[in-house]
Copies of this chain bind each other. A is one copy, B any other.
Amino acid sequence: MSIYEELLERFGKEKVSINETILEHHSKDESYFDPVLPDIVFFPASKEDVQSLLTYANDKRIPVVPFGVGSSLEGHAIPIHKGISVDFSQMNHIIELRPEDLIVKAQPGITRLQLNQELNKHGLFFPVDPGADATIGGMTATNASGTQAVRYGVMKDQILDLEVVLADGRILHTGSLAKKSSSGYHLNSLFAGSEGTLGLFTEITLKLHGIPESIMAARACFSSVKQCVEAAVSILRAGIPIARMELVDARSIAQVNHYSDTAFKETPSLFLEFHGNEAGNHADAEFVQALCEEQDCQEFIFEKDSLKRAQLWKARHDLSYAFRHSDPKKKTIGTDVCVPISKLPEMVEYARARIDYHELDGAVLGHIGDGNFHTLTLFNPEIKEQVTKTHLLNEEIVEFALSLGGSCTGEHGVGIGKMKYQQQEHGESLSLMTSIKNMLDPNYILNPGKLLPMETNK
């Protein structure tokens, strides 16, 4: 029997597909990497399905690649060594919502908007917000973050427990329902960000937050990106618990206005948000305005009504799509380096200078409250010189970030594209990471060719 026939027999035709459209859908993500068709797509409905599949695949040495909604920006979901794509769309339920504990236990296939829709009914929200409506499983696998990480932390900070199926079919729990623990080794953060290379998640237990009594947003317009960054650094140093602080440069604002039908002033800007009680937010916002004015802020505009505030953040979240869909002939490629905040001004200036030097069409934007920002470059994949320059630009930016003590990726993950920086960033630790991988996945079936620069055929 072929593998397909064996899986059909084991799971039934509802859960196993070789339909060409379906294979194609699972061949790519939002990255610029070439698509690769999986051999088979598997749709598990339970942890037992995942366990059974992994036991089978491990025995047969078949690559297994988890798939959420395919919004990865680094090729995580592309089955570059073929094999089985595991699509979690059937496992998208809330298992248990405990508002009284600020805890939710969900299946990995639920998306962040689906989750928040349910949470909002209880006055709660989940703060991690990458631009895309990604699945919670995918966000956990890449340790995603987004605009609210500066206040609420990144994905791994929200995780109380993961149910993980290992390559050999063992099922384990990496945590508990306790908010704090000093018991045993902490495994939540080992699996969060492991990009499907150590195990597949079947349940994810997350910390939740109460929707703040008062939310205020503001836009601060400056003459230069450098002023934006200097203002951001002084806001952080003042200890203001800012909930969002996004850099959006003039090029990005132009794109936003075009795509989102907004009329924001086309200057380098900070998009800001304050969460708390009304009196506290007002005091914080006044202080922030003063700090921005010290950097010659031209305008400081409060977005008071909730509709305008929603419009502001929708425009920000749609920005990457606004670039990506601006010209069907062009692709976008981005960086997401993260550096110590005092290094941000020189880092951002360097990035801007290199974009200009290479005469590329690029924007600088991002979560500068965390020292994490993006360059987004538009290029025509048919013009070889543009492709070469874009890749060179990305390498220059990563090298510079690493030289400042930073990380090659603040939130998108390693995937395919950043494996080449792992040795430089992690040094001796990389051998420990490799040992952990070998220990947990000795047959190298779990998302091979991602995260760790290992030989594929051991």
Contact = CB atoms under 8 A, between A and B. Distances in A.
Interface of A: 98-103, 142-145, 149, 153-154, 156-157, 170-174, 176-190, 192-194, 198, 209-213, 233, 236-239, 241, 276-284, 287, 338-343, 367, 370-372, 401, 404-414, 418, 421-422, 425-433, 435-436, 439-440, 451-452
Contacts of A157: 153, 157
Contacts of A100: 233, 237, 341-342
**Nearest 4 pairs of A and B residues by beta carbon:** A280-B280, A210-B239, A177-B405, A181-B407
A164 B340 CA distance: 21
Contacts of A278: 283
Contacts of A371: 178-180
23 contacts: A100-B233, A100-B341, A101-B341, A102-B341, A143-B182, A149-B180, A173-B426, A176-B407, A178-B410, A180-B370, A180-B410, A181-B338, A181-B407, A182-B409, A183-B421, A183-B422, A183-B425, A187-B432, A189-B190, A209-B239, A279-B283, A280-B284, A435-B439
Nearest to A404: B177
B408 A183 contact: yes
Q: Considering residues A179, A370, A407, A433, which has the most beta carbons from chain B within 10 angstroms of its beta carbon?
A: A179
B340 A101 contact: yes
B241 A178 contact: no
Contact of A183 (B99, B284, B339, B418): B418
Contacts of A413: 182-183
Nearest to A149: B180
Contacts of A284: 277, 280
A410 B193 contact: no
B241 A156 contact: no
Q: Considering residues A101, A149, A338, which has the most beta carbons from chain B within 10 angstroms of its beta carbon?
A: A101
Given A339-B178, A436-B436, A426 B101 contact: no
A157 to B, nearest CB: 7
Nearest to A428: B172
Contacts of A280: 276-277, 279-281, 283-284
Given A100-B233, A157-B157, A340-B103, A178 B407 contact: yes
A183 B276 CA distance: 32
A276 B341 contact: no
